[in-house]
């Protein structure tokens, strides 16, 4: 009789876990249409027309991944992130602090349940900051911190080739 209790208890636990996973997935995962709408963001911003080339690395390691960052039509895009996981252009937001401009942008991967939040400062033709990459799984969330540094280049065209 006791073995039935254990079997029923295990079954109830599995149902609760599966139900929680389904609820979490439905509440947190953006739809493909929502991601496409974000990718189509159009507007203008004070950084539009600026392109930076530089490098990215895991926080605390030497800069080792070459990247290009473009600000165009009110949106921010990373060439490396677009190539790796189909991250679309995303709106960026700025604030001016003296001679520096701080920006933030958040992009969601179109192929996986992951996002990148860019936080940076632009001053004297140089961009530097951090990016936080987050990958959500039903059983855990992975989060990694990266740093980036780059310089203003002469190119002012969008990566996507508007």
Over the chain (162 residues), the average pLDDT of each successive run of 10 is: 65 55 48 50 78 91 90 94 90 93 94 92 95 90 94 66 49
Q: What is the pLDDT of residue 39?
A: 47
Q: How far apart, in Å, are the Cα atoms of 48 and each of 12, 28, 112, 129, 152?
A: 55, 31, 28, 18, 12
pTM (2 d.p.): 0.69
Instruction: Report the candidate in 58, 35, 159 with the shortest Cα–Cα distance to residue 106.
Output: 35
Q: What is the pLDDT of residue 19?
A: 54
Structure tokens at 26: 């439905």
Determine phi and psi for 33, rounding to 5 degrees: -65, -40
């Amino acid at each position: 009789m006791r073995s039935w209790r254990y079997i029923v208890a295990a079954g109830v636990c599995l149902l609760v876990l599966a139900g929680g996973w389904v609820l979490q997935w439905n509440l947190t995962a953006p739809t493909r249409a929502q991601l496409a709408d974000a990718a189509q963001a159009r507007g203008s911003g004070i950084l539009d027309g600026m392109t930076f080339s530089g490098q990215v690395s895991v926080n605390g390691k030497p800069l080792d991944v070459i990247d290009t960052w473009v600000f165009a039509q009110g949106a921010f895009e990373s060439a490396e992130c677009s190539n790796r996981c189909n991250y679309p252009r995303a709106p960026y937001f700025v604030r001016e602090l003296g001679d520096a401009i701080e920006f933030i942008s958040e992009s969601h991967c179109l192929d996986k349940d992951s996002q990148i939040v860019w936080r940076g400062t632009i001053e004297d033709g140089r961009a530097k900051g951090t990016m936080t990459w987050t990958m959500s799984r039903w059983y855990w969330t992975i989060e990694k911190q990266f740093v980036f540094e780059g310089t203003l280049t002469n190119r002012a065209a969008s990566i996507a080739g508007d």
